[in-house]
Amino acid sequence: MPVLFSVVAATVAVSLVSLSGALFLVLREESLKRLAAYLIAFASGSLMGGAFFHLIPEAAARQGESSFALVVSGIVLFFALEKALCWRHCHNAQCDVHTFTYLNLAGDSIHNFVDGLIIAASFLVDPALGLVTTAVVVLHEVPQELGEFAVLIYGGFTRRRAIWLNLLTAVTAVAGGLAGYFFSRYVQDLQFALIAFAAGGFVYIALADLVPELHKRRRAAESLAQFVLMLAGVGILGAARLLAGGHG
C-alpha cells in the first residue's frame, strides 16, 4: 500500500473521530445544555491531560527547555487573542457566543494539524509504526473531541453547527498529513514548535476559561461531579500516554 494513501486514509479516519459529538444529537436541547455544563469539567481535564501528558513531553523531548518558552508564548498569545475577540465581537454588546469557543477551535486546529504531521512522519519511517501512531491519536482524540463538542455547545453554538465546526477543525489533520508527507525534511522543527504552542493554548483555555465556568455551580453534588469528571478527563489522557509507552 503506497505510503501517501496510508497517510491520507489514517488522517481521514482521525478526522472522522470529531463526529463522535453526534452521539449527543439524540438528546433534547435542554438536556444537552445541562449535560454540557458538566462535560465542561471533563473538557478542562482532557485539555490539561493532553497538554501535560502528550504535547509538552513530546516537545520537550525534541527541543529541550526552549519548548517551555513556546508553551508560555502560546498562553500569552491566546490571552491576547481572546482580548481581541472580546473587543471585536462583544464591544458595548452582550456576546451570543463565548469567545473561548473560538480559542478552542483555533487550538484544536493546530493540534489536529500536528497530529497529521506526526502520523505522516510515522508512516514514512515504518507502516506498522504509522498504524500504531494512528491508533494512539484516535485513543486520545475521542475523549478530547467529546469534551470540545461540549465546550462549543456550552459556549452558545447549536448542535449541528458544533458538529460541523468540529469536523472542519479535524480536517486540518489531513492537511498536516499531506504537509508531513511532501515536506518531511522541512517540517520536523516546526512540528514540535507547534506542539508546544498548542499546549500553551490548551492550558490557557482550560484554566482561564473553563475552570471559571465551573465555579458558577456551587452545590456540593454538582461540585463533586465536576471534580470527578475533571479527574476522568486527565486520567483518560494519562492512561493513553501510558498505553502508548510514553509516546504520542
Instruction: Report residue 8 as a C-alpha cell.
Output: 491520507
The Cα diameter of the chain in Å comes to 57
Burial call 104-136: b when 16+ CB within 10 Å, e when fewer: bbbbbbbbbbbbbbbbbbbbbeeeeebebbbeb
Q: What is the pLDDT of residues 2-45, one digit of tens each?
A: 888 999 999 999 888 877 766 666 667 677 677 777 878 888 88
CA nearest to 230, candidates 248, 211, 217, 246:
211
Phi, psi of 177 (to 5 degrees): -65, -45
Question: For the chain, what is the mean pLDDT?
Answer: 80
Percentage of residues of the chain with pLDDT beyond 70: 83
Cα–chain center distance at 65: 23
Q: Which residue has the cell 455547545?
A: 153
Residues 44, 172, 140, 100, Cα dihedral to 10°? 0
Q: What sign has the CA pseudo-torsion 112, 118, 123, 128?
A: negative
**CA dist 154 to 34, 36, 125, Å?**
9, 6, 41
Poorest-pLDDT segment among 96-100, 153-157, 164-168, 205-209 = 96-100
Q: Is the pLDDT of residue 163 over 50?
A: yes
CA nearest to 41, candidates 146, 147, 140:
147
**Looking at per-residue confidence, does 189 or 59 come out higher?**
59
Query: Where are the domains positioned within the chain?
Result: 3-15+38-243
Instruction: Report residue 201 as a C-alpha cell.
Output: 493554548
CA nearest to 17, candidates 136, 121, 161, 120:
136
Q: What is the pLDDT of residues 202-233, one digit of tens each?
A: 888 888 878 888 888 778 888 899 999 999 98
Helix (H) or strand (E) segment spanning residue 181: helix 172-182
